[in-house]
Amino acid sequence: MAGILFLISAPSGSGKSSLVNRLRSLVENLEFSVSYTSRTPRGSEQEAREYHFISRDEFERMIHAGEFLEYADVFGNYYGTARQPINEAFAKGKDVLLDIDVQGASQVRNKMSDSVNIFLMPPSPDDLAYRLRSRSRAEGAVQEEIIRRRLAKAREEIENYREYGYILVNDILDRAVEEMAAIVAAERMSRNHGPSTRDDEELIAKAEKCRQRNSEVRIKPVLQAFGVVNAEATPV
C-alpha cells in the first residue's frame, strides 16, 4: 500500500520548522522531505538538513527535466519538492511529510488527492511579528521591510485555510507538536487497523478536534486578528 503524504503549510515565522524538528524525534516511519531552494542558507542552516541549496540555473535545469513534484516562487526565490525521494520513501513503506507553501500545496493536492493537509497558524499578527523579529535578530539583523512583507503575505496565506483538512494554532509549541503527532497517528489508524486501545481512541479524539470543521471557535480570533473576513469554517 502506498504511504501517506502529509502536507503542512504555514506563514513564515509561525513555528513550522520548530514543530517539524520536534516531530522528528517523536514519530517513526515518517520521512521529512528536504526541499530544494535557490535562496542562500540562513543562520545555522546546513546543506541537506533544512534544504538542498542550489543555484537558480540548477533549479531551472531541474524544472525542465521534470524532476519536481511541485515548485513555487516564494519571496523571490525558488522552492521545490523533488519527486524521487518521495517515491523512494513510499517504496520503503514510509509516510512522507512535506513542508510547503500554499501555492505548492495546491499543486500537490491536484496530483495526489488523498494527501493529508495541515495548516499551522500563528496566534496573532503581534506574535508573528515578534517571532519574525526574534529570529532575524538571532540570525543577524532585523530588516523591517522584510518583516512587513512577511506579515502581509501571512494574511494572504491564512485566507487559504479552508483548503486544509486540519488547522493547528501554534500558541504553545508543545501542544501543537502533540496535536500534529495525533493527526499522523489517527490518519494511519484510519487507513489500517482502526483504534485498538484507549490511547488510540484518545489520539483520534485529539486529531478530530483539529479538523477544520471542528476548529471554528479556536481559529475565529486568529482570523479576526489577521483581518480575514468571511471566516466560517467549511467541512472538508
When binding is defined by CB under 6 A, the residue of 19, 89, 101, 204 that contacts ligand 5GP is 101
Nearest alpha carbon to residue 70 among 33, 111, 30 = 111
Taking the CA atoms of 219, 220, 223 and 229 in sequence, report the sign of the dihedral they define.
positive
Residue 18 touches ligand ADP, criterion: CB under 6 A: yes
What span, in angstroms and rounded, lies between the C-alpha atoms of 204 and 196? 11
Residue 170 touches ligand 5GP, criterion: CB under 6 A: no
Q: Which is nearer to ligand ADP, 135 or 188 (CB)?
A: 135
What span, in angstroms and rounded, lies between the C-alpha atoms of 136 and 140? 6
Q: Which is nearer to ligand ADP, 12 or 117 (CB)?
A: 12
List beta partners, residue 72: 79
Contact partner at residue 179 from ligand ADP, ligand 5GP, none, CB < 5 to 8 Å by partner kind = none
Angle between helices 16-26 and 173-191 (to 10 degrees): 60
- The piece of 68-76, 87-95, 179-187, 205-213 that touches ligand 5GP (CB under 6 A) is 68-76
CB of 1 to ligand ADP, least distance (A): 31
Contact partner at residue 134 from ligand 5GP, ligand ADP, none, CB < 5 to 8 Å by partner kind = ligand ADP
What span, in angstroms and rounded, lies between the C-alpha atoms of 128 and 149? 12
Residue 99 touches ligand 5GP, criterion: CB under 6 A: yes
What span, in angstroms and rounded, lies between the C-alpha atoms of 94 and 1? 10
CB of 137 to ligand 5GP, least distance (A): 16
CB of 94 to ligand 5GP, least distance (A): 18
CB of 54 to ligand 5GP, least distance (A): 12
Footprint of ligand ADP on residues 138-177 (CB under 6 A)?
170, 172-173
Task: Give yes or no for a contact between 171 and 113, defined as CB atoms under 8 angstroms apart.
Answer: no
* Distance from chain centroid for Cα 44: 21
Task: Give yes or no for a contact between 100 and 20, defined as CB atoms under 8 angstroms apart.
Answer: no
Residue type for position 44: S
Q: Given the rule CB under 6 A, which residues bind ligand 5GP?
A: 12, 35, 39, 70, 72, 74, 79-81, 99-101, 103-104
Q: Given the rule CB under 6 A, which residues bind ligand ADP?
A: 10, 12-18, 131, 134-135, 170, 172-173
